[in-house]
């Protein structure tokens, strides 16, 4: 019997063949904390070893992505602790404006076959590069940062066999929201989600990151894609082609459950408040006539170049509706610069968008677009939980960057296919 | 034997409900954050906690979903709940609970009423609702979690054993 992607990566790391259900201790290739979870991680490190130290400074990444630039002094002090810890231990720090940890991991640090843990639930994003990447709490990350290893229960794998190609106007965000709508928010609890099939090669890396990013919204531990030519191209573009290697699941691997998904049948969808699994076709949302006060394009889910590109294509030469705000947050500085040089930023600003710093933006609920009472937001982010954007008396809908761009033009949820 | 009154919450309680993002700045001041614990799920809870009362937190399905913020589990512990009961837990939250020495027990919480008097027998694997007079079995705690639990959390476990070995 062969191995699933998750089993293959963990077996390689542990040095023997592992099987689902067993507990293994694995070396970690990167351990990450951000400004919201870092300070607690540092407290636990001190409790654990009596001082601030890490097993290998080159494998510990700290990012200031959730609260930067700081909106208030107590958060500025969190950021000071991040910098002080980095100075003391030599851990890598990527400061305000450099980008979101998951995106920086993909650009600069992670390679296929790595085990990556982060004190951020969306660490699963880099599973798109065939890395066993998952989110953990600050205490687990403290352990990983000090010992260079962590324990896992080897997960069973749920396989999603993708066939065909997404129709025009339909994106990988629609795919993952459709999957979550179908299996539910605990549909893949404790499981590895693995994507395979001919359809995979029709998804770019940017598209795959979006799918892997939302594994956690289905309860999944990891969201894995095979490492193939697309992965290689992405790593080459980021100057790391030499680190690439192919990995795929064995043909005779054994799965907990299997789904076949015909990509040609996916249509644009929207998640209604307050659950990501509350998914409806955009056609229905259009009929419901949902007015939007704020539209957000960005975050670790959809702040990559292709996301900004598709939004700019729709918005070019058009205007954001009066009474609607369009906020755009490139997910990293590298993406921001590329979008600037290719005219994407110009098109967005001309249409009326506000461009914010590379960061998590308003998804965290503390700054850069906190909603007012009764306000409605359509966002490319991954969560629409009650109060997520700083106000429990507001409503968040989730969709693709194209649906967001079209909706910004109309001032209500719109079908992106009308703008192609 | 753990005893206490149940405070019931519904399904799909996220860490955003437990520790709302708008109080991000209070993550370094958990006693202050406690005034807002579960604010978006049931604001009455923190009011009772602030009066000095304590309860056993009882959730429904997929309890603790969402953000990895361990502050959510720590706030529940700080509120005086020695264990958390739910029909199912989200995985990061589940690990966080045992890591900080607060067992998360999987049990059919539909059979527990709000404010019922509970007795939790960790060794015996039972939750007794004394108000209703029913005895419920909780799912066996995974062996690795039991090891952490015995030492009061993963930090104490590693300190004792010098490493992450099982």
- Predicted confidence at residue B30, as pLDDT, reads 98
pLDDT tens-digit readout, A83-128: 999 999 999 999 999 999 999 999 999 999 999 999 999 999 999 9
CA angle A54, A56, A60 (to 5 degrees): 75
Question: Which domains, and CATH codes, for chain A?
Answer: 5-263 (3.30.499.10), 271-419 (3.30.499.10)
pLDDT tens-digit readout, A193-232: 999 999 999 999 999 999 999 999 999 999 999 999 999 9
Q: Which two tokens stand for residue B53?
A: 């009362």
B14 CB within 8 Å of a chain A CB = yes
* A144 alpha-carbon distance from chain centroid: 21
Mean pLDDT of B63-69: 98
Say yes or no for a CB contact (<8 Å) between B22 and A390: yes
pLDDT tens-digit readout, A345-381: 999 999 999 999 999 999 999 999 999 999 999 999 9
Interface of A with B in 46-85 (CB under 8 A): 47-48, 66-67, 72, 74-75, 77-78
Determine which helix (DSSP H) or strand (DSSP E) holds A377, and give its type and residue range: strand A376-379
Q: What is the DSSP string of A149-218?
A: EEEEEPPPEEEEEEES-PPTT--HHHHHHHHHHHH-TTTTTTPEEEEESGGGGGS-HHHHHHHHHGGGGG
Which residue in the block uniquely carries the two structure tokens 């954050």? B33
A91 exposed, middle or buried (CB, 10 Å; 0-12, 13-18, 19+)?
buried
Say yes or no for a CB contact (<8 Å) between B40 and A387: yes
Q: How many helices (H) and strands (E) does chain B have?
A: 7, 7
A302 has pLDDT over 90 = yes
Question: Which domains, and CATH codes, for chain B?
Answer: 2-139 (3.20.19.10)
Dihedral sign computed on CA atoms, order B69, A399, A294, A405: positive
- Which of A143, A189, A390 faces B154 most closely, judged by CB atoms? A143
pLDDT tens-digit readout, B82-111: 999 999 999 999 999 999 999 999 999 999
Q: What is the DSSP string of A248-297?
A: ---TTB--SEEEEEEGGG---EEEPTT-TT-EEEHHHHHHHT-B-SEEEE
Give me the percent of chain B exceeding a pLDDT of 90: 99
Give me the percent of chain A exceeding a pLDDT of 70: 100
Q: How far is B128 from chain A (nearest CA, A)?
A: 27
Pairing mode, if any, of strands A157-163 and A279-281? unpaired
A17 exposed, middle or buried (CB, 10 Å; 0-12, 13-18, 19+)?
exposed
**pTM higher than the cut 0.90:** yes
Say yes or no for a CB contact (<8 Å) between B21 and A150: no
Mean pLDDT of A136-155: 98
- Predicted confidence at residue B166, as pLDDT, reads 86
* B72 alpha-carbon distance from chain centroid: 9
| Cβ-contact A390, A363 below 8 angstroms | no
B68 CB within 8 Å of a chain A CB = yes
**How far is it, in rounded angstroms, from Cα B12 to Cα A274?**
10
Complex ipTM over 0.95: yes
Residue closest to A29 by CA, chosen among A122, A100, A110: A110
Q: What percent helix, strand, coil does chain A show, rounded to 5?
A: 40, 20, 40
- Which of B40, B66, B154 faces A383 most closely, judged by CB atoms? B66
Say yes or no for a CB contact (<8 Å) between B90 and A78: no
Interface of A with B in 170-199 (CB under 8 A): 185-186, 189-190
Residues of A in contact with B18 (CB under 8 A): none
Q: What is the DSSP string of B60-74?
A: -TTBTBS---THHHH
A388 CB within 8 Å of a chain B CB = yes
Residue closest to A223 by CA, chosen among A4, A1, A2, A3: A4
Mutation target vs A (from B68, B97, B160; most A CBs, 10 A cutoff): B68
Q: How far is A162 from chain B (nearest CA, A)?
A: 26
- Which of B14, B91, B165 faces A190 most closely, judged by CB atoms? B91
Residues of B in contact with A74 (CB under 8 A): 25-26, 28
The pLDDT mean for chain A works out to 98
pLDDT tens-digit readout, A42-91: 999 999 999 999 999 999 999 999 999 999 999 999 999 999 999 999 99
- Which of B14, B68, B73 faces A136 most closely, judged by CB atoms? B68
For A150, nearest residue in chain B (alpha carbons): B164
**How far is it, in rounded angstroms, from Cα A77 to Cα B129?**
45
**How far is it, in rounded angstroms, from Cα A179 to Cα A234?**
25
């Amino acid at each position: 019997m062969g191995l699933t992607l998750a089993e293959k990566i963990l077996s390689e790391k542990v040095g023997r063949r592992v099987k689902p259900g067993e507990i293994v201790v694995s070396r970690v290739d990167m351990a990450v904390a951000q400004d919201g979870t870092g300070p607690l991680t540092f407290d636990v490190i001190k409790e654990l070893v009596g001082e601030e130290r890490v097993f290998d400074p080159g494998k510990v990444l700290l990012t200031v992505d959730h609260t930067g630039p700081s909106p208030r002094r107590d958060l500025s002090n969190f950021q000071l602790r991040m910098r002080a810890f980095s100075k003391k231990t030599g851990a890598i720090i990527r400061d305000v404006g450099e980008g979101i940890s998951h995106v920086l991991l993909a650009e600069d640090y992670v390679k296929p076959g790595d085990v990556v843990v982060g004190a951020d639930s969306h660490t699963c994003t880099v599973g798109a590069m065939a890395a066993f990447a998952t989110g953990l709490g600050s205490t687990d990350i403290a352990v990983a940062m000090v010992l260079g290893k962590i324990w896992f229960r080897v997960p069973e794998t749920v396989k999603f066999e993708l066939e065909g190609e997404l129709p025009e106007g339909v994106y990988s965000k629609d795919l993952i929201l459709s999957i979550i709508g179908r299996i539910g928010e605990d549909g893949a609890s404790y499981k590895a989600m693995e994507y395979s099939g001919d359809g995979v090669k029709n998804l770019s890396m940017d598209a795959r990151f979006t799918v892997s990013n939302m594994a956690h919204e289905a309860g999944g531990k990891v969201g894995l894609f095979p490492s193939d030519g697309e992965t290689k191209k992405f790593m080459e573009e980021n100057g790391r082609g030499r680190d690439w290697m192919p990995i795929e699941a064995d043909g005779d691997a054994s799965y907990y459950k299997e789904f076949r998904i015909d990509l040609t049948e996916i249509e644009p969808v929207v998640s209604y408040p307050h659950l990501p699994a509350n998914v409806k076709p955009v056609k229905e949302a259009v009929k419901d006539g949902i007015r939007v006060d704020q539209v957000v394009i960005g975050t670790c889910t959809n702040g990559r170049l292709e996301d900004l590109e598709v939004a700019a294509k729709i918005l070019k030469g058009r205007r954001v509706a009066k009474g609607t705000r369009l906020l755009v947050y490139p997910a990293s500085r590298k993406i921001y610069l590329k979008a600037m040089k290719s005219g994407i930023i110009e098109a967005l600003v001309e249409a009326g968008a506000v461009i914010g710093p590379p960061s998590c933006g308003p998804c965290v609920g503390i700054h850069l677009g906190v909603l007012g009472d009764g306000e409605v937001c359509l966002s490319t982010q991954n969560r629409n939980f009650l109060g997520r954007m700083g106000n429990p008396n507001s409503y968040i809908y989730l969709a693709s960057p194209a649906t967001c761009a079209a909706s910004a033009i109309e001032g209500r949820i719109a079908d992106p296919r009308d703008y192609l | 034997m753990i005893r206490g009154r149940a405070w019931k919450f519904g399904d799909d309680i996220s860490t955003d409900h437990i520790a709302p993002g708008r109080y991000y700045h209070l993550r370094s001041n958990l006693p202050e954050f406690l005034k807002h614990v579960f604010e978006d799920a049931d604001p009455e809870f923190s009011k009772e906690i602030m009066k000095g009362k304590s309860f056993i937190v009882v959730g429904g399905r997929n309890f603790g979903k969402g953000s990895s913020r361990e502050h959510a589990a720590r706030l529940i512990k700080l509120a005086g709940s020695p264990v958390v009961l739910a029909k199912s837990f989200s995985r990061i939250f589940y690990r966080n609970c045992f890591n900080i020495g607060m067992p998360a027990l999987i049990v059919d919480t539909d059979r527990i009423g709000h404010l019922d008097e509970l007795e939790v027998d960790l060794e015996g694997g039972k939750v007794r609702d004394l108000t209703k007079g029913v005895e419920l079995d909780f799912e066996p705690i995974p062996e690795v979690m039991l090891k952490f639990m015995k030492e009061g959390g993963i930090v104490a476990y590693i300190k004792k054993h010098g490493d992450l070995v099982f």
